[in-house]
Homo-oligomer: A and B are copies of this chain.
Amino acid sequence: MPAPSSRTGGTSHTGRSRTAVAARSTAGTRDERKLRTRRSLLDAALELLSGERSFSSLSLREVTRSAGVVPAAFYRHFPDMEALGLVLVEESFTTLRELMREARSAPLPPSHLVRRSIATFLGYVEEHPLHFRFIAKERYGGSTTLRFAIRSEIRLWVSDLAVDLARFPNLRAVSTDDLQLVSGLVVQAVVHATELTLDLDPADERERAQVRFQAERQLLMILLGAAAWQTERPSTRA
């Protein structure tokens, strides 16, 4: 039962068949329309990536087809599929970092800050599953360009976290370098948990809660280890 193609009203365009994600309307200024098409290309790619597909196996034609646009139109917006991928990386992390910055700006004691940050992060992941699924898949698997872009964004994020950790009274004595290592571990654990989450049945709240619970325990262990770090270090290594 194919739905009638008059969803957005408008000028009815042509009678062409559209599998489009977001049927672009004919409203707005020219720049706005262009931007809208660009967005629907990005969204189409994101949507296609939400399934099995990896970015490198995604074809330009698929993206344009799913965005309701002719293949050649792609080149009006991106020179390359890789360019589109880089935009996806960028917008994934800018959104994330904004949110995390908000979360940290709250006037709370440090211990609550971590929990608050975790909650914010998980909230972000649940609200933008497509972006994060993309990141998770391409972090190690993508092209060198994509992989390095993601890696450098994650490094920024790790540094942000390290700054927060520095405020913890019981981490006061840990050196800056070691704090980076600690927050690296934290980010790893969180990202890994998220990647597990992405393969879970979205309805099964019990399983989700378990993954979250285990991740929290792991974080506590890491922080505990970090707190014990400066006191025990001399004995474990020269």
A contact residues vs B (CB 8 Å cutoff): 52-54, 56-57, 136-144, 147-148, 178, 181-182, 184-185, 188-189, 192, 195, 199, 214, 217-218, 220-229, 232, 236-237
Contact = CB atoms under 8 A, between A and B. Distances in A.
A195 B147 CA distance: 11
**How many of these chains are in the complex?**
2
Contact of A237 (B136, B189, B220): B220
Contacts of A184: 214, 218
Given A181-B214, A220-B225, A220-B236, 7 more contacts: A54-B57, A140-B195, A148-B199, A181-B218, A181-B221, A222-B222, A225-B225
Given A54-B56, A188-B188, A182 B138 contact: no
Given A185-B221, A225-B222, A52 B140 contact: no
15 contacts: A52-B56, A54-B141, A56-B56, A140-B141, A148-B199, A181-B214, A185-B218, A188-B188, A188-B189, A220-B236, A220-B237, A223-B225, A224-B232, A225-B226, A228-B228
A143 B51 CA distance: 9
Given A57-B57, A141-B140, A221 B229 contact: yes
Given A178-B217, A181-B218, A225-B223, A199 B56 contact: no
Contacts of A225: 220-226, 228
A222 B54 contact: no
Contact of A140 (B56, B136, B181, B224): B136
Contacts of A138: 141
A137 B56 CA distance: 12
A52 to B, nearest CB: 5
Given A218-B181, A224-B228, A228-B228, A140 B140 contact: yes
Contacts of A222: 185, 221-222, 225
A56 to B, nearest CB: 4
Interface centre among A56, A140, A223, by most B CB within 10 Å? Answer: A140
Interface centre among A143, A195, A224, A228, by most B CB within 10 Å? Answer: A224
Given A56-B53, A188-B192, A224-B225, A141 B147 contact: no
